[in-house]
Structure 1
């Protein structure tokens, strides 16, 4: 079928809005007519490093829309269902079986090769491959092929522009707090980076009643939003000594921290600012190696924990997030700005420079 997609030709070129051919759904595939798609920094990062030989490509991994058709073997969803799309997993490896599918043994194969596992592409243009299957969806398009494992059915009354970011960014930040760190009321949580992921962590902490929530970000507007969303204090790292400021606010240091920046200097600040036996969740991916004061970690009994996708099972966690939003405890509308799909370049630029915290493109 003919669809419209935003083709990526690399970081230094604009997206190309073009007509491409999308396969009819195979037996295990779900055809989704997309209505909204969030832009995540992972999209921007992958756009910059995506192999030239796998271009053009269709990225996008925070899609939301309506199921248009399903393959013969699909049972969990049906045409007409409103859905959020998330990451794909195999469902059979030890991690999937243990309830932690975000650490699926086949995660890369299923989410980041540009192809189905059998080496075919879901899209073509003039007979040539268009690479996709990004996070089992490639949702920078009017339609996407997804799978039962990465489709979450939601209510037909849910605003899809609010629902779209739940599949990755919101899930990552909120899940790091609710599923991994699980701070109590008397805990102190410091969030490094007040973008979409970091502010989702702030909102989740506030929703559970954490008494001390600190947001660290160099951008004044983001610190203001963090305070509006529940941060009890904010720190400007360009002015304040971050570690000293955190200790002044918390007494013994932070019992919990979330780093969204993947910046080595910031991560070291986070580790140093932890209280004894404190835990840091790393949710950003950046420099592969950073120097670390091992003595500080060991001597303080500190824990550094990597977290992918908020350690969340989307079919369980997305409904929890929607319930929080419905009761006003996850006010995502305060961080989302919508754009027309044709304005995806503007949306991506606004995401990259921080003009917009969470851009969402409307495909219809």
Structure 2
């Protein structure tokens, strides 16, 4: 079928809304009319450095209404409201034990540009166009595997729910699923974008006594305070490690590092108390760490966390339930843009004007 999609033709280029051809459904797939798609930092990285082959249709936080399902699909029906999350194989050791974010094929399925059978889903002028995260939701329609499609409540604005598929799930899940902070413990969150602020809200849900938010943008620190941070620090002005140790009487039990900035990664380690744990979720370059003094000598742990170690079909409905109870007000992060404003939305995100841009694609 012919659809409209925001296509990136080469590294660093702007998105162009163009006509493409979407392939027919396979037996275990779902066709979704996209209502909205969140913009994640990973989309910007893919556009700028080429995480997936070009040309590509990016977008990996889609929400929409199911239009058609393959004959083997059992849990999703036409008319269902859904959020589309990341792709996983469903068969490897980690998928089968509830850790699909660590799927053995996670990179191939999300960044390889083709489906798990090695086929293109999207074509333009007879040429294959890469699919992103098994969905490519910067488009009027998307195809995804049943296991990556999450049925959601129809009484919540569907456009609002799209970012739950990746960024918000990552921040909240890193706290609630992986770190699992004890009631009354302390945590620092480095970077107050959508991922970091989701971690702040999750830490409040978990009952952390000290929730320290670190950023260089005052407007984001103000929002962190509103969402549950007990203390905020401007990384340009404060001695972050010294102040965190003073506030928490020795350092935090936990940290979530979202920035990927090497100096900040080291701060997240240095500001831990002995036996503390840092979860790295930001895209981080090669860097130097003093393993003895910053990790081993005080029994600290540094771990990578992918997609909040979440099972999306379970975790996303839980986050929606928290939202409906007023405990997870992620709507305060979001600003909506029209489909043809997609390049402006990316610019506003890069400048820090908007925490979480969401592109409205159809009504």
Q: When the two structures are superposed, what TM-score results if normalisation uses the length of structure 1?
A: 0.97
1:348 matched to 2:354: no
Q: Secondary structure at the match of 2:57?
A: coil
Match of 1:312? 310
Q: Secondary structure at the match of 1:119?
A: coil
Q: Secondary structure at the match of 1:131?
A: strand
Whole-Å separation in 2 of the counterparts to 1:189 and 1:55 = 40
Cα deviation digits, residues 198-247 of structure 1 (max 9, x gap): 00000111122211101000011100110111101100111111100101
- Shift in Å, 1:261: 0.8
Alignment of structure 1 residues 79-158 onto 2, 5 Å: 79-132=78-131, 134-158=132-156
Whole-Å separation in 1 of the counterparts to 2:125 and 2:12 = 24
Match of 1:273? 271
Whole-Å separation in 1 of the counterparts to 2:130 and 2:89 = 20
Cα deviation digits, residues 65-114 of structure 1 (max 9, x gap): 01111112111211111100001111111111111111111111211111
Alignment of structure 1 residues 67-82 onto 2, 5 Å: 67-82=66-81
Match of 2:280? 282
- Shift in Å, 1:51: 6.8
Whole-Å separation in 2 of the counterparts to 1:260 and 1:51 = 19
Moved over 3 A (4+): none
Which runs of 5 or more structure 2 residues have no equivalent in the other structure? none
Match of 2:188? 190
Which runs of 5 or more structure 1 residues have no equivalent in the other structure? none
Match of 1:42? 42
Match of 1:201? 199
Q: Secondary structure at the match of 1:64?
A: strand
Whole-Å separation in 2 of the counterparts to 1:268 and 1:279 = 12
Q: Secondary structure at the match of 2:341?
A: helix
Whole-Å separation in 2 of the counterparts to 1:175 and 1:272 = 23
Find 2:250's aligned residue among 239, 249, 252.
252
Whole-Å separation in 2 of the counterparts to 1:116 and 1:297 = 40
Farther-moved stretch of structure 1 (157-166 vs 136-145): 157-166
Q: Secondary structure at the match of 2:276?
A: strand
In the alignment, is the contact (CA less than 8 A) between 2:217 and 2:234 conserved in 1?
yes
Q: When the two structures are superposed, what TM-score results if normalisation uses the length of structure 2?
A: 0.97
